[in-house]
Structure 1
Amino acid sequence: MLQFLEKIARTALVAVASIGLFVLSCSRQKSAPKWQPQNSGVTASFRGLSAASSNVAWVTGTQGTVLRTIDGGESWQKSAVPGADSLDFRDVEAFDTKTALLMSAGTGEASRIYRTDDGGQSWQLLYTNTLANGFFDGMAFWDREHGMLYGDPIDGKMFVMTTADGGFTWQRVPPDALPEMNAGEYGFAASGTGIAVSDTASVWIGTGGAAARVFYSHDRGQNWAVAETPLISGEASTGIFSIAFADAQNGIVVGGDYQQPNATTATVARSTDGGQSWQLVESGAPVSFRSAVAYLPGTGGPQLVAVGSHGASYSTDGGATWIDLGEAGYHALSIDPDGKSIWAAGGEGRIAKLTGFGRKVIDEVERKVNQMMDDGKGKDD
């Protein structure tokens, strides 16, 4: 009983201390979360980003550019993909230091999938799109073997493929299994995060253009449903640009109008029922156009970061309210599985790391609280 009460006390103190820490970080500019620019050494526009651990991250973009860091951003190494100088790598899925998958976006054969198993020293071309109107938008993986890729509609149905062997082979989901798409509805290859997965079988895909909807499946794409969202839509530049889920029930979509990046109307919506319905976020600080959003792992869903071409924001209450992170523009975002490294990447070779926010901050609070509890226990003894 005593151990149980002690555990409750520790948990309560950590929660109170964490809240106090964030309040303090908001009131003190010097301790507020901020971006730490990295030296990428290139001028490419980045839209692919994947953090495999607190020290390992992969970044990809135009002109076939692929970069990797294995020391937390102290240095970045460029990798050459044979015959890919003209490709735009808009998504990357990194599994560890050595293994990663690349997805290029473009019409027809410009949409491809590559894989490396030796840290980028060599690359294997695994798949080339053969459909004249095909255009890949993004991919996501449940684990190292099972993943899904989606692209713009073919004959009125979203193009979706799955893999069960780490990307070596791909099978198209039968078009009849998918709901019809509206004329002028499609996906955005803006950051590789227009698709999200959770647990072992759930997947959600956001769309834009004529409609801002979420297509979702809870059996790895065998059966699908679609839900309307209140995000702005109707123009070619509007809709959902990124989607994320904290678990199988709680998710968020962000977007807006990239032609009007400072507009704040209908840019964020949340779901608490696995994507079946979506509620517009209208209170709190306004959020302009955002192209990527991610939950901080290990926080139960309340903490998020979002980036866009004209600014970034973070939230500590599940996206109900947002705090500005400055006007620096980024296209892509990734948080490592432990939540200790938060990366953003954008145009002109920009890469940055967010400091003052994340699991490192929370872990430090927990360490200090546990130390206080242990010190107090020692005095009582």
Structure 2
Amino acid sequence: MKWWCKLTGCVALACILLTACTSQQPSAMTPVQEEASVTEEGQTLTVVNPESINNTAVDTKAEEGKKYQIQTRLTDFKLLSETTGLAWGATRNELRLYLTQDRGKTWTNISPASSVQFPNSLEFGKDLFFIDPINGWIVRNSLGSGEAIVLRTIDGGLTWKMSSLPEASSVSAIYFIDQQYGWILTENSDGVKTLYRTVNGGASWNKVMSSPLIHENTENELVLPRAGHAVAMTFTNKSNGYVTTLDQGQPKLFMTNSGGAQWKENIQFFNPSKYTKCKSFVVGTPTFFSDNTKSGYVPVGCSKEDTMKFNGYFTSDSGASWTLAPFGLPWQSVKSEDHELQAPYFLNEQTGWSIQGTTVLHTTNQGKDWVALPESEKLTEVLLEYREIVKMQFYSESVGWLLVSKSDHKRSLLLQTQDGGISWRVL
């Protein structure tokens, strides 16, 4: 089959218009009386229904401003601005996706129809991507002999349309740079990696790269190799992209300047000789900063025995060269294989945050020195019960979100700071 084969998907499938569940009162919610009432079952969010749409299949008349107890455990989130963010989880294989545009005071259910099942938790950048509150995409891997599908919305989740990836394997990453241009990376059990690109907002997808089963010539070497597991993918424009992998436990970085058609490893990125005491490694997502897209950061974690420590690799020339920045952080205990420590979050190449125990640490010199911020009584109280840090993100030097979970992975809480990590409140 030709590599440039265009994937249009099933004609009938592409015509399906999935109506969001936002206009339907979630069945897994029960009314609560007070905003501060947070029980073991979940977190109280004020859910407001969106404007009604032409949909006779569901009741579009819901009580406005009513508070509901969300039974869904939130598993991920994404801050889109200081006031706007997404948070989501799943209940009975149904995705529950919520949007706030007022710093978490009220939330809108923008979930796709419950007929689309999601048996696994969704991660931002892997299964779900939004560039703003209006334009978003969700990937669901094929179930059994079915096809992988891509849901897309251009109206903030009021409606969802569907396209398919008929030949797709397990999806490893999704990334969009604007409303039209995006990429999906897949990987099968043999390590074959395939990259799809859309130039029409996800309505159709073209295969632009695939790992060969057998390396035949030097041209075929300019692809993502079968060896190694794809971890994350980032694009900064229509041409330049980055993929991190773990190959026999070693972090690697691959780069493209051809929109994904050709890839080459940056052998300068990681030098294992600098880590003589490390038993294994983890590598994170290449992040390029909004104030300067030439500057970026990739976290690399080193583990030994039952502890782990992160350092950072930084670039100021779009990834041509990378500098190791040893973080002045202590080793942290890793309680189990299921418990993954979160890398420090960097807003730019100098400013970052990390959490050690119940203390928020802040750096302004690329992680060389870390200052403990004043203790937040609320954060300390929460972290003593919800001990696992699921994710931390800052949108500015003031506003950040933090998702924490109990060790049983059944309950979570989402918190917000508006003063750079000094004080926190439960959303």
Moved more, 153-162 or 61-70: 153-162
Note if 1:89 corresponds to 2:122.
yes
Q: Say which of 293, 301, 304 aligns to 1:256.
A: 301
TM-score by length of 1: 0.65
1:88-167 equivalences under 5 Å are: 88-91=121-124, 92-104=128-140, 111-128=148-165, 130-131=167-168, 134-152=169-187, 155-167=190-202
Residues in 1 aligned to 2:137 and 2:355: alpha-carbon distance in whole angstroms: 23
SS of match in other structure, 1:145: coil
Give 1:117 shift.
2.7
Residues in 2 aligned to 1:293 and 1:197: alpha-carbon distance in whole angstroms: 21
- The answer to whether the 8 A contact 2:341-2:389 is kept is no
- The answer to whether the 8 A contact 1:152-1:158 is kept is yes
Note if 1:316 corresponds to 2:316.
no
- In terms of fraction of residues, the more strand-rich structure is 2
- In terms of fraction of residues, the more helix-rich structure is 1
SS of match in other structure, 1:96: coil
Give 1:181 shift.
2.9
Q: Say which of 331, 340, 345 aligns to 2:390.
A: 331
- The answer to whether the 8 A contact 2:187-2:193 is kept is yes
- What letter matches 1:241 in structure 2? G
TM-score by length of 2: 0.59
- Aligned residue number for residue 287 of structure 2: 244
- Aligned residue number for residue 26 of structure 2: none
Identity of aligned residues (%): 17
Residues in 1 aligned to 2:181 and 2:368: alpha-carbon distance in whole angstroms: 32
- Aligned residue number for residue 373 of structure 1: none
Give 1:274 shift.
3.1
SS of match in other structure, 1:187: strand
Q: Which runs of 5+ in 2 are unaligned?
A: 1-41, 46-69, 211-219, 333-339, 374-379, 406-410, 422-427
Name the Cα RMSD after superposition: 4.0
1:301-312 equivalences under 5 Å are: 301-305=349-353
Note if 1:68 corresponds to 2:103.
no
SS of match in other structure, 2:123: strand
Note if 1:342 corresponds to 2:403.
no
- The answer to whether the 8 A contact 2:111-2:157 is kept is yes
Give 1:294 shift.
5.2
Note if 1:353 corresponds to 2:401.
no
Note if 1:77 corresponds to 2:116.
no
Cα deviation digits, residues 198-220 of structure 1 (max 9, x gap):
25532212112523111111332
- Aligned residue number for residue 218 of structure 1: 257
Cα deviation digits, residues 272-307 of structure 1 (max 9, x gap):
4433444433252247565466543xx6x3223467
Give 1:321 shift.
4.0
Q: Which runs of 5+ in 1 are unaligned?
A: 1-36, 189-193, 359-381
Cα deviation digits, residues 22-66 of structure 1 (max 9, x gap):
xxxxxxxxxxxxxxx97453443523x333333221223444231
- Aligned residue number for residue 64 of structure 2: none
